[in-house]
Amino acid sequence: MESDSITVLESDSEPAVSLTASKVKSKSTHRKSGFTSSWQKNYPWLLYDNEERAMYCKLCMRYGNLPRNGSGKWVKVGCTSLRHDKLLKHTASAMHRDSEISSHEEARASLTGGIRGALEVPINEERKAAIGALKCLYFLAKNELPHTTKFTSLVYFSINMGCSFMKQLRRGGNASYRSKQVVAEFLFCLSDCIKQKVLLTMRNSPTISILIDESTDVSILKQLVMYGRCIVDGKLECYFF
């Protein structure tokens, strides 16, 4: 057929329809490319760089998840194939699923406090109990009361007075912080803190004097007593060791 037109005859009663070959178009299989701003609404994790004309994944960049092949695409290197099917492919990838899991876990942890929040309460309770025990022991020592026999009674008294956190001193059958050995360790910590504070004060004094004497305690045992004198803010202060 030499003519470039096609004549279609439906029937003898209907007129002929003439279609030129230039108007006959076949469906194109070529996929559209180019970034569309509406993608960012459907994919909140999508980050587009106008200068590079490339797409990045904010989730994968945040949690450092890379492709299994080590290419670094979507994280270190942007995806330059600006097609919607690339977004679908990345959404279904293992690296993006891992990033979504990390994001969900982080959001859930922010509501519940996570591991730190779960441990914070018991740690604070144990810390308060230890500080309360030191205060009880300091009260006994300051008032020259027998701390080895009165400490446990004072702890129970504190609990009965509403200091429920003091119950944390007994963590188990073999972990009781009310024994004589623990009381001795608490007393050593108290004395060491006080001694370090006194020594620091004396070091900052322009002049000091030390006196040594012997005395007896409440159990009539001889003890070596040391006195230290120094100047603090222009006044003479005396400390006992």
pLDDT for position 91: 92
Q: Return the HEC string of the chain.
A: CCCCEEEECCCCCCCCEEEEHHHCCCCCCCCCCCCCCCHHHHCCCEEEECCCCEEEEHHHHHHCCCCCCCCCECCCECECCCCHHHHHHHHCCHHHHHHHHHHHHHHHHHHHCHHHHHHHHHHHHHHHHHHHHHHHHHHHHHCCCCHHHHHHHHHHHHHHCCCHHHHHHEEECCEECCCHHHHHHHHHHHHHHHHHHHHHHHHCCCCEEEEEEEEECCCCCEEEEEEEEEEECCEEEEEEC
Residues spanned by the domain of 175: 119-185
The percent of residues in the chain predicted with pLDDT above 90, rounded, is: 17
**At residue 17, does pLDDT exceed 50?**
no
pLDDT for the residue 178: 72
Of 77, 109, 141, the residue that ends a domain is 109
* For residue 14, pLDDT beyond 60: no
pTM, to two decimals: 0.41
Q: Which of the given ranges, 7-21, 35-49, 113-127, 140-154, has the highest pLDDT on average?
A: 35-49
Total domains in the chain come to 3
- The whole-number pLDDT of residue 219 equals 73
The predicted-structure confidence for 136-163, as pLDDT tens digits, reads as follows 988 998 888 888 888 888 888 888 888 8
Q: What is the pLDDT of residues 40-54, one digit of tens each?
A: 999 999 999 999 999
Kindly state whether residue 89 falls inside one of the protein's structural domains: yes
What is residue 114's predicted lDDT score, i.e. its pLDDT? 54
The pLDDT, as a whole number, for residue 19 is: 44
The reported pLDDT for the residue numbered 171 is 60
Tell me, yes or no, whether 33 lies in a domain. Answer: no
- Does residue 127 lie in a domain region? yes
Same domain, 209 and 227: yes
